[in-house]
Structure 1
Amino acid sequence: MAALLLSPTTALVVAAHLGGLHPYENALVLAIAFGPFIVLGIVVTVLRRRDVADESKTEKRIPD
């Protein structure tokens, strides 16, 4: 059981031993980290534009 517990120093040594990431791995990490937020921003923008267009159509149909 004690062998499964790693000290912070051991974790740093393992990370240093594995080395840096390749460029495609960096791109993959960034895509996984920030991709969902970018997609969410696009979806929100598209839906807001659609709602504004629907509201302007509704306002034009109903005379004052």
Structure 2
Amino acid sequence: MFEKFWQALATCAALPKSLFGKAIAYALGQREAINKLLQYGEIDISNNTCEQAVKSLVIDR
């Protein structure tokens, strides 16, 4: 599905300890889960719904 994206990440020249290198390593490690998420399409990628539900609890403190 996103083969060109994964190929670009795999061939990207970034220092492993840099923030960009860490982000690439994380994304490659999550490849299977990300592909499933993108294929299903019904799951909201953001966590805004959860944050909005908790927001009133935090404000009421």
- TM-score tier, shorter chain, comes to 0.3 to 0.5
- TM-score of the pair, normalised by structure 1: 0.32
- TM-score of the pair, normalised by structure 2: 0.34
Question: Whose relative contact order is higher, 1 or 2, with alpha carbons under 8 Å and at least 6 apart?
Answer: 2
Q: Which has the larger radius of gyration?
A: 1
Q: Higher helix share goes to which structure? A: 1
